[in-house]
Structure 1
Amino acid sequence: MRQNNTMVQLFLSEPKWEVDGDIDSAKLIISLLDRLESVVWSLMTSAGQSEARLWLCNTVSGISSISREQQRELFVKLLRSKRVSRGLASQLLQMVFEKRPHKAGHVLAKKSYRLEKFFEGKLFTLMRILQWFSNFCDGVGSGHQKGAKALSQFAFVNRDVCWEELEWKGKHGQSPAMVATKPHYFLDLDVQQTVENFVDNVPEFWSSNEFAESVKDGEILFIDTKFFIDFFVDLMYKEDVRDVWEVIDDFLMEESFSSLCHHLLIILEEHDFRIFLESLRKYINPRREPKDFGNSSYWLEIILCRCGDCDSIDQLLLLNGVINHRRQLLGFVHDDEYQEEKSTINDIMLQIRTASLKVNSLASIFCECLKLNIIEAIKLLGLLSWVVYYRLSEECQTLESWESLFAINDIKFRKSDKYVLLHYDGVSEDIESDFDSRTSSRNRRKKKKRSKKKRRRNYDNDNSYENELLDFDTSNSGQNLESKAVSWLLSTDGFSASWTSADLPDHLSKHCFSSWMRWLVAKWNNVA
């Protein structure tokens, strides 16, 4: 579907709410959108529903109205659930270890006597022993470290009862007096045998202050993270250790809601995820009037605070896909594996385009939306915005087509004072013009020459030149390169950002959806 004589209507002027359009055409468009929903959902499920689930988790993570106390309660409720998966607790502990290891280390210090088994029994404990207890100083630096420091301090303090448990590599052992004056002699210690002796004969060491102090910073956690995650999960659920839950509570208060969602929600089974969303709904203020529909998470807040009857996550996955991940969905359409679905979508687009000619405004479609519940209305307008995205991506390929689109839809525009560097990997980069700076210009020219030489070498050695230009249409490459190299400032965002043709479909379709939803919600509020 390429550029044609029919320009895309964006409907960016609020319609007159009196029905002055063609109702039959509006109902036809709605039926076509229902058909499009079925095809898009088929694509999403075939191409990978897990990816769509990840998209939704990302959208949830953008919700900004949740307090620190509320986010703690949300995740503690999941962790305390009878259906809880060890995977959720394990993932959370992994975050604690990486970001607050000293918090877990303080708990570990109180349970240090139980780490005796960490260093006993199995062959792979040899590496643990060497990693933790071999860090003796060589006469320079800050002294013994980690377990080596604990071992040496304990041995000196308790030399009357445990010095003989130290094994030395030389012909004879070292006396406490000698090692006290020359600490580097500990480098001659047979660390493996000594620790094994302490495991068998010196149980006091493992509950000593010296050993507890050595693990307090949490560094020991990274010797075998899986072991310690399992260890802490058992403390949480088998023993319900208060200190561990306090660490979890503190972490859930300190970490951002976005980070917690990104790392934890993907672990949940669908049933638990639905419970999470239901719990989340209770913390969103239903009286708060949404205003920023440009925020990808705002529409989700509307659904969660006003409706609690969503029996399946499928609708949320679909809505999130068409509203917030239009480009990824289009990627599915262009996959060679889904040619039949692409053909169906193109046919639907053609029919919608034809029906739109008979509708003077969105008024008829909006009036139909008012008869629907809010989820169905959002879905309808979300699908319509994806139609806009699809058509813009397919039909607008030149400078003239974009600027004609702006003019027809009353979008004020001017070319940006930036120009775009097109890299051979298809990525564009905006660079501010600065012709007064000779040094900067020389640097750009040098960099450009190096880039050209690099590209020439790559293309000389690789026959897949067309594959390198990921999004360029070789049938009309001159015009496409020209349009991709230009950026515009638009009245849609108050001329605050420059937009290239690669980003315009997403920006304009998102702006359409935001405008439509703002008008619709305002109308709902007036009617109520």
Structure 2
Amino acid sequence: MVELFLFEPKWDGDGHGDIDSAKLIISLLNRLESVVWSLITSGGRSEARLWLCNTLSGISSISREQHRELFVKLLRSKRVSRGLASQLLQMMFEKRPQKAGHVLAKKSYRLEKFFEGKFLIVLLLLDEAGNPRRVSQWFSSFCDGGGSGHQKGAKALSQFAFVNRDICWEELEWKGKHGQSPAMVATKPHYFLDLDVQRTVENFIDNVPEFWSSNEFADSVKDGEILLIDTKFFIDFFVDLMYKEDSRDVWEVIDEFLMEESFSSLCHRLLIILEEHDFRIFLESVCKYINPRREPKDFSNSSYWLEIILCRCSACDSIDQLLLLNAVINHRRRLIWFVQDEEYVEEKLKIKDIILQIRTASLKVNSLASIFCECLKLNITEAIKLLGMLSWVIYYRLSEECQTLESWESLFASNEIKFRKSDKYVLLHYDGVSGESESDLDNRTSSRIKRKRKKKSKKKRRRKYDHDDTDDNELLDFNTSNSGLNLESKAVSWLLSTDGFSASWTSADLPEHLSMHCLSTWMKWLVSKWNNVA
């Protein structure tokens, strides 16, 4: 039976035998760490970076003013490439285009070049961002008489032409045999549908410079809709305003956007594109804003343990350590998928052998107390990594050893976890994961893993279900290679005292819940002990 070590040990030591077994377990956990890290790196280090960025996004102790300072510092850094600014601008264009539109309205005269071009040459000779396309998209939205009026650039063109008809009406080009008078178009606005838009805009570029700085044209771009015509052009335009001209207007709207956008959203979109050095700078900056005196609280929160590390360390010794910690603590299920992959047979055998040795060594009485005493001698990162590895061992063992209802309930009883069966039936996906409890991070499965699992599951479905004589009413066996759990145990869920009976847990989700509960419990003890020593 799996021992979860949910009772706080005595901290005064328990004899040399226990210390020896604790040192053996620590040695085995270090070996296990090496094998697990090889699995992570083989799966793609960039993906592990993405996992860490997701965890960072959950940090809750940073105010909006602070996270604005964090990202502005990165944007102002000479080392950071234009890529970060481009990604932020893309984000702002998508979510709050009116902010960029406000800047464009102030600099509308500069958009004349956006529409420039020789319209009479063969279209194929134009560049891929051909200006006739831009002109048509922005200035051709004239109403047909039944709508709400002219839109976008068409509205600006018509309004400016009426107000300034004495200087520009002759620049309007019409498709018919003769032009239209202001009086006629004023009574029948749909006549503007006969305007040759491209030739007219060309005339305005050559002969009516006042239009491009007019209130009419500025108002047409104020909502930011023009950004959709050529997003790449406008991203480059704004990046130049930021770094070549140091435009105060642009930096002000960026400040506003960073204040309004959540820290979580910014981390998800921006951190993954940072180079390693800049990512380290970001982490070091985050350390300054986390309160190091915070009391131990909910370590089941995927980001809280990271806050503890960052507030107690001026800088991480290695980004690799954080990547490993995050993978072991927050992505246990993915690591199991790696272990079960046919590509990693050798690693799988090593892991099984190490975990068997840890299981044997753990049979020593009170060996966990000695492990905790050894943890107190380590720095916070090493201690959390050690306990994180131990919690992953528990996750692995629960996934492998608990196969029936009786084995789960025996586990609860032996670890003094109060439980009762839930009357709620939980629908399970074909991979054995319940839709109720699966975390958001596990929903973002890597494309590499998805492809492999999808291929395997298709093969299994063809073998099991592609038979003409299958009875539609027959209850099918949904055993999976991942867990080996039968349908009966999956269909049942339990309410547990570990979370105050607040959620129902199926056998598919129990390894995740219980291993995280173990780590949370251990970390509360450890941090309290550290605080007492300090």
2:290 aligned with 1:284: yes
Q: 1:472 aligns with which of 479, 493, 496?
A: 479
Ranges in structure 2 where 5+ consecutive residues have no aligned partner? 118-125, 438-457, 467-475
Q: Which residue of 2 aligns with 1:74?
A: 70
- Within the candidate set 87, 95, 112, 1:99 is matched to 95
Work out which of the residue numbers 177, 180, 183 in structure 2 matches 1:174.
180
User: CA-to-partner distance for each residue in 1:307-338, whole Å, 9 max, x for gaps?
Assistant: 12423200000001111111111111111111
CA distance in 1, matches of 2:432, 2:232: 41
Q: Please give the residue correspondences for 1:17-36 in structure 2 after superposition, counting only pairs within 5 Å.
A: 17-20=11-14, 22-36=18-32
- The question of 1:11 aligning with 2:11 is answered no
Task: Specify the alignment match of 2:462 in structure 1.
Answer: 463
- How far does the alpha carbon of each residue in 1:353-389 deviate from its partner, in whole angstroms, 9 at most, with x for none? 1111124341011111111111111110010001011
What RMSD in Å do the two structures reach over aligned CA positions?
Answer: 2.3
What is the alpha-carbon distance in structure 2 between the residues aligned to residue 299 and residue 35 of structure 1? Answer: 23
- Give the structure-2-normalised TM-score: 0.89
Q: Conserved in 2, the CA contact under 8 Å of 1:25 and 1:359?
A: no
For the pair 1:45 / 2:44, whether they are aligned, the reply is no
**CA positional deviation for 1:466:** 7.1
For residue 427 of structure 2, give the secondary structure of its aligned residue in structure 1.
strand
- Structure-2 separation of matches of 1:518 and 1:474: 35
SS at match of 2:288: helix
User: CA separation in 1, counterparts of 2:416 and 2:94?
Assistant: 52
> For 1:463, what is the secondary structure of its paired residue?
helix
Contact residue 132 and residue 146 of structure 1 kept, 8 A: yes
Equivalent AA in structure 1 for residue 144 of structure 2: D
State the match for 1:54 in structure 2: 50
Letter in 1 for 2:234: F
Give the counterpart letter for 2:2 in structure 1: V
Match of 2:79 among 78, 83, 102: 83
Q: Which residue of 2 aligns with 1:271?
A: 277
Counterpart residue type for residue 238 of structure 1: K
Residue 518 of structure 1: CA displacement?
0.4
How far apart, CA to CA, are the structure 2 residues paired with 1:195 and 1:327? 59
| Contact kept in structure 2, 1:26 and 1:359, CA below 8 Å | no
Distance between the aligned counterparts of 2:248 and 2:174, measured in 1? 42
Name the SS of the counterpart of 1:287 in structure 2.
coil
**Among residues 286, 297, 300, which one is paired with 1:294 in the alignment?**
300
Which of the numbers 375, 382, 388 marks the counterpart of 2:394? 388
Deviation digits for residues 251-272 of structure 1, max 9, x if unmatched? Answer: 1111111111111111111100
Kept in 1: contact 2:310–2:316 (CA 8 A):
no
Q: Secondary structure in 2 aligned to 1:264?
A: helix
Measure how far apart 1:244 and its partner are: 0.5
Residues 15 and 361 of structure 1 are in contact (CA less than 8 Å); yes or no, is this contact kept in structure 2? Answer: no
Structure 2 equivalent of residue 329 of structure 1: 335
Letter aligned with residue 36 of structure 1: L
- Change in Cα spacing, 1:82 to 1:170, as seen in structure 2 (3 Å) is same
Structure 2 counterpart SS, 1:63: coil
Q: 1:248 to 1:470 in 2, by over 3 A?
A: farther
Distance in 1, matches of 2:482 and 2:326, equals 34
Alignment match, 2:310? 304
Partner amino acid, structure 2, of 1:289: E
CA distances 1:122-147 after superposition (whole Å, capped 9, x unpaired): 45212111111010011112110000
Name the SS for the 1:420 alignment partner. coil
1:140-151 mapped onto 2 (5 Å cutoff) = 140-151=146-157
Indicate the SS of the match to 2:179. coil
Q: How far 1:426 moved relative to its partner? A: 4.8
Deviation of residue 527 (structure 1)? 2.2
Show the counterpart of 2:440.
Answer: none
The residue number in structure 1 matching 2:403 is 397
Alpha-carbon spacing, 1:219–1:284, altered in 2? closer, same or farther (3 Å): same
Residue of 315, 319, 322 corresponding to 2:321: 315
| Alpha carbons 1:132, 1:147 under 8 Å: kept | yes
1: CA distance, partners of 2:262 / 2:477:
36
**Partner SS, residue 489 of structure 1:** strand
Q: After superposition, what is the alpha-carbon deviation per residue over 1:88-145, rounded to whole angstroms, capped at 9, x for unaligned?
A: 1011111111111111101100111111111112452121111110100111121100
Identity level (%): 85
Aligned twin of 2:515? 509
Equivalent residue for 2:452?
Answer: none
Tell me how far 1:290 sits from its aligned partner.
Answer: 2.9
Instruction: Note the C-alpha offset of 1:425.
Output: 6.5
> Quick check: 207-216 or 303-312, which moved more?
303-312
Aligned to 2:504: 498
Q: Look up the match of 2:353.
A: 347
Residue identity matched to 2:462: N
Matches within 5 A, 1:356-375: 356-375=362-381
Deviates more, 1:490-499 or 1:118-127: 118-127
Q: Aligned residue for 2:59? A: 63
Aligned partner letter, 1:291 = K
State the partner residue of 1:186: 192
Equivalent residue, structure 1, for 2:110: 114
Q: Verify the 8 A CA contact 2:337 2:482 in the aligned structure 1.
A: no
Which of 135, 139, 142 is the aligned partner of 2:145? 139
Aligned to 1:258: 264
Q: 1:125 and 1:250 mapped to 2: Cα distance?
A: 32
Which of 156, 161, 179 aligns to 1:155? It is 161
Which residues of structure 1 form unaligned runs of 5+? Answer: 1-6, 432-458
- 1:463 partner letter: R
After superposition, the Cα gap between the structure-2 partners of 1:282 and 1:393, relative to the gap in structure 1 and judged at 3 Å, is same
Query: Could you tell me how far apart the structure 2 residues matched to 1:524 and 1:472 are?
Result: 45
- Distance in 1 (alpha carbons) for counterparts of 2:332 and 2:430: 24
Q: After superposition, what is the alpha-carbon deviation per residue over 1:433-491, rounded to whole angstroms, capped at 9, x for unaligned?
A: xxxxxxxxxxxxxxxxxxxxxxxxxx9xx735479x997238998x6100110100001
**Separation in structure 2 between the aligned mates of residue 314 and residue 406 of structure 1, nearest angstrom:** 35
Three-state SS of the structure 1 residue aligned to 2:420 is strand
How big is the shift at 1:430? 6.1
Aligned AA for 2:40?
Answer: M
Structure 1 letter corresponding to 2:309 = I
> Structure 1: how far apart are the matches of 2:291 and 2:380?
17
Tell me, in whole angstroms, the C-alpha distance in 1 between the residues paired with 2:418 and 2:200. 79
Cα distance change of structure 1 residues 428 and 291 upon mapping to structure 2, 3 Å threshold: closer
Give the 3 Å change call, closer, same or farther, for CA 57–384 of structure 1 in structure 2: same
Q: Which residue of 2 aligns with 1:454?
A: none
Report the Cα distance in structure 2 between the residues aligned to 1:192 and 1:109, rounded to whole angstroms.
22
